[in-house]
Amino acid sequence: MGFFDRLKKGLTRTRETLTAKIGTAVLGYADISDDLLDEIEEILIMADVGVSTTEKLMQEVRKGIKKKEIHTPADLKPFLENKITEILLEGGAGVRMAAVGPTVILIVGVNGAGKTTTIGKLSAFYNYYGKKVMLAAADTFRAAAIDQLEIWGKRTGAEVIKHEEGSDPAAVVFDAVKAAKARGIDILIVDTAGRLQTKTNLMSELEKINRVVGREIPGAPHETLLVLDATTGQNAVSQAKLFTQSAPVTGVVLTKLDGTAKGGVVIGIKSELSIPIKWIGVGEGIEDLRPFSAEEYSKALFDK
Amino acid sequence: MIFEGLSERLQETFKKLRGHGKLTEDDVNEAMRDVRMALLEADVNFKVVKDFVKKVKERAIGQEVLETLTPAQVVIKIVNEELTALMGGTQSKLNISSVPPTIIMMVGLQGAGKTTTAGKLALSLRKQGKHPLLVADDIYRPAAVKQLEVLGKQLDIPVFSMEAGTDAVTIAKESVPYANSHAADVIIIDTAGRLHINEELMQELTSIKSEVKPHEILLVVDAMTGQDAVNVAESFNGSLGLDGIVMTKMDGDARGGAALSVKAVTGCPIKFVGMGEKLEALEPFYPDRMASRILGMGDVLSLIEKA
Ligand SMILES: Nc1nc2c(ncn2[C@@H]2O[C@H](COP(=O)(O)OP(=O)(O)OP(=O)(O)O)[C@@H](O)[C@H]2O)c(=O)[nH]1
Ligand SMILES: Nc1nc2c(ncn2[C@@H]2O[C@H](COP(=O)(O)OP(=O)(O)OP(=O)(O)O)[C@@H](O)[C@H]2O)c(=O)[nH]1
Ligand SMILES: [Mg+2]
Ligand SMILES: [Mg+2]
């Protein structure tokens, strides 16, 4: 199966809950009515598009009706498709790489979002493209977090820099940056412990890690990726806001998109935050990571 | 903040309305718009919100506005009461078998907090004089067994595991005679995270269930879950028949509307909440606290209660 077909398959459930439902809804009405609009609103919210983004989209629809861009219920689906695609396409999302020396990628997020697994997948991805990858085990808190990262390191041929459980994560990162420079590493990926964005002490630990990296390699971390679980609801916005305050987030990795019926969260995140989605996780396996392409995503979503 | 407290919103709404004497249908309709938005923003499932709003509306129309309460407060009082009722009574009790060992099985999506909660439960049960055994039945996730072993060591609670390659049903089955011969009276089985739509893995759980016949199957749900929470809870409940729910990561700022959703669709009591990563951070579930959290208004409620 090609990349696009796999993406499309992964989004089947999203398509069923979002786009197919809109298609069915419009068939049930001869004219545009409040009931129809309520039904559309309901479909968007059920897909976790988010309350404010849904409101925004519904305002656009009402404007479209006034401006006679929408005449019949059948016009609604293409209209929404265009608006959603616009949201998804806004702003570019290239990956920032260091001009010389190691590119440092810092991985942050709340507990259990999928950080360590994503690192394993990223390591495999860069390894496949011939890059020398190193992993830093800066989650020194969670039970067996270091062992988990080491298994991923083994699977993907990446060296893991670690200290003991319970040690200072910033010190691990310091050592890892030194080692990466000394050993001509292309990509250094830093795993951090999961933390809820409201825990100020843990968030300042993240600031410290960020500072250490920046001091050792000017311009680093080149990427700070926030890992978000796609099953998350409205809290995603709070996560993005507060993590960005401690470690300027350059992109989002949206995990567990294989399971939820709600890939719609992508639309909400893109619309409410100015942070681009860079990767999506579609399974627990080593290959289950895809670069996020807004074009492909909206095509797969609307079954084009 | 994107979230504006429900009470402020309602005050604002009622400023525009007259709201003297009895609450009219128009007053209530207007107010229900605010209530609906607040619940949706708290991640309560859309369908659950719909039913809920209908119920509150019926109760609120014609309601006398007392002198001590503003119209907004009257509505909040009703909303809060209905919400608390819907969430059920305090339920921190586990089903303990009269013939040991009691078998508890932890299930849920990936990363929800099953393994951590297994450790927390073991600690809490030991404090009650029990002798728990943790069973490492996640054969998929890298270092899952090690994770449970580390927790067991921290707590000084035994962990049962078998060599790599053993299937999950066998591990669960073998843990029972092991518990019996090691004087353990509670078995806590930590299973791998899985998606509710993964039929093969859901089948694994039903096989474990029919093999060991657990007294308590607990669904572990992340408090940050969005609209999909109902589908998850419905699937797990449909395949396994749940006995209780644990809401984790309640130490953050998620409003936790998922709690209401899973309760509404499964009818299962929420038995515990996870309040942190530490193994002591497990608390009983209080429906009234959860209600004010979902509504985002602890202080307002205590004022109203006094009135
Ligand atoms: N289905 C699915 N599961 C995933 C995906 N990504 C990660 N997981 C699973 O989610 C669970 C948590 O993943 P981890 O990588 O340990 O998450 P983490 O953010 O590092 O967790 P902490 O370090 O404890 O905060 C594991 O069971 C992973 O296998 C994904 O894209 N799809
Ligand atoms: N803040 C907070 N973190 C929690 C809580 N419960 C669990 N966690 C964290 O959430 C992450 C995932 O917990 P696990 O217990 O590994 O979750 P799991 O469901 O066993 O994950 P899988 O086995 O991969 O499916 C870890 O970082 C835990 O420390 C809680 O109540 N509060
Ligand atoms: Mg991790
Ligand atoms: Mg686990």
Whether the per-residue pLDDT at B307 is higher than 60: the answer is no
Query: A265 contacts in B (CB within 8 Å)?
Result: 226
Between the alpha carbon of residue B202 and those of residues A15, B193, B209, B240, the distances in Å are 23, 10, 11, 9
Question: Is there a binding annotation on residue A76?
Answer: no
Q: For residue B212, which of B298, B73, B133, B102 has the smallest C-alpha distance?
A: B102
Which DSSP string do the residues of A7-61 spell out, in sequence order? HHHHTHHHHHHTHHHHHHHHHT-SS--HHHHHHHHHHHHHTT--HHHHHHHHHHH
Return d(Cα B50, Cα B39) in angstroms, integer.
Answer: 10
The single-letter code of the amino acid at B16 is K
Phi, psi of A34 (to 5 degrees): -60, -35
Give burial (CB, 10 Å; 0-12/13-18/19+) of A155: middle
Return d(Cα A212, Cα B160) in angstroms, integer.
Answer: 41
Question: Is there a binding annotation on residue A49?
Answer: no
Query: B111 contacts in A (CB within 8 Å)?
Result: 111-114, 229, 256
In this prediction, residue A82 carries a pLDDT of 84
Each of the 304 residues of chain A gets a pLDDT tens digit; together they read 455 565 566 666 666 767 778 888 888 898 999 999 999 998 888 877 888 889 999 999 999 999 999 999 999 988 988 888 888 777 655 678 888 889 999 999 999 999 999 999 999 999 988 899 999 999 999 999 999 999 999 999 999 999 999 999 999 999 999 999 999 999 999 999 999 999 999 999 999 999 999 999 999 999 999 999 989 988 998 899 899 999 999 999 999 988 765 567 778 777 887 788 889 898 999 999 988 877 777 776 666 5
Chain B residue nearest residue A13, CA to CA: B197
> Inter-chain contact A196–B147, Cβ cutoff 8 Å?
no
Confirm if A209 and A240 have CB atoms less than 8 A apart.
no
For A235, residues 6+ apart whose C-beta sits below 8 A from its C-beta are B43, B224, B252, B253, B254, B255
Return d(Cα B93, Cα A2) in angstroms, integer.
Answer: 51
Question: Is there a binding annotation on residue A115?
Answer: yes
> Inter-chain contact A46–B252, Cβ cutoff 8 Å?
no
Q: What's the sign of the alpha-carbon dihedral B154, B158, B163, B166?
A: negative
Residue range B113-135, pLDDT digits in tens: 999 999 999 999 999 999 999 99
Which DSSP string do the residues of A194-217 spell out, in sequence order? ---TT-HHHHHHHHHHHHHHHHHS
How much is the average pLDDT of B2-8?
61
Residue B190 CA, closest ligand 2 atom number: 20
For A263, residues 6+ apart whose C-beta sits below 8 A from its C-beta are A11, A13, A14, A18, A47, A230, A257, A297, A301
How much is the average pLDDT of B53-58?
92
> Inter-chain contact B225–A110, Cβ cutoff 8 Å?
no
In this prediction, residue A158 carries a pLDDT of 98
The single-letter code of the amino acid at B283 is E
Q: How far apart are the first and last CA of chain B?
A: 29
Q: For residue B296, which of A238, A172, A224 has the smallest C-alpha distance?
A: A238
Return d(Cα B123, Cα B132) in angstroms, integer.
Answer: 8
In this prediction, residue A3 carries a pLDDT of 52
Confirm if A234 and B255 have CB atoms less than 8 A apart.
yes
CA distance B87 to chain A (A): 20
Give burial (CB, 10 Å; 0-12/13-18/19+) of B165: exposed
> Inter-chain contact A111–B154, Cβ cutoff 8 Å?
no
> Inter-chain contact B228–A45, Cβ cutoff 8 Å?
no
Return d(Cα A204, Cα A191) in angstroms, integer.
Answer: 16
Confirm if B95 and B102 have CB atoms less than 8 A apart.
yes
Question: Is there a binding annotation on residue A110?
Answer: yes
Q: How far apart are the first and last CA of chain A?
A: 17
Task: Express as a percent the part of chain B with pLDDT over 70.
Answer: 92
Chain B residue nearest residue A238, CA to CA: B253
SS3 A279: strand
Query: A13 contacts in B (CB within 8 Å)?
Result: 197
Phi, psi of B33 (to 5 degrees): -60, -40
Complex ipTM value: 0.93
Q: What's the pLDDT band for B3 if we cut at 50, 70, 90?
A: very low
Whether the per-residue pLDDT at B6 is higher than 80: the answer is no
In this prediction, residue A274 carries a pLDDT of 75
- The average confidence (pLDDT) of chain B is 90
Q: Which residues, in sequence order, are bridge partners of residue A280?
A: A254, A290
For ligand 1, whether the C-beta of A284 sits within 6 Å is yes
From the CB of residue A183, how many other CB atoms can be counted at a distance below 10 Å? 12
How much is the average pLDDT of B167-195?
97
* pTM of this structure: 0.90
Confirm if A51 and A237 have CB atoms less than 8 A apart.
no
CA distance B157 to chain A (A): 15
> Inter-chain contact B142–A152, Cβ cutoff 8 Å?
yes
Q: For residue B244, which of B84, B81, B117 has the smallest C-alpha distance?
A: B117
Which DSSP string do the residues of A112-164 spell out, in sequence order? TSSHHHHHHHHHHHHHHTT--EEEEEE--SSTTHHHHHHHHHHHHT-EEE---
| CB-based contact, A38 to chain B, within 8 Å | no
Confirm if B115 and B189 have CB atoms less than 8 A apart.
no
Place of tokens 């497990």: B282
- Radius of gyration over every alpha carbon of chain B, rounded to an integer in angstroms: 22
For B11, residues 6+ apart whose C-beta sits below 8 A from its C-beta are B70, B72
Query: DSSP state, B268?
Result: P
Return d(Cα B295, Cα B52) in angstroms, integer.
Answer: 13
Q: For residue B60, which of B42, B34, B96 has the smallest C-alpha distance?
A: B34
**Preferred mutation among A9, A41, A42, A260 to probe B, highest tally of B CBs within 10 A:** A260
Chain A residue nearest residue B229, CA to CA: A231
Q: What's the sign of the alpha-carbon dihedral B7, B88, B82, B264?
A: positive
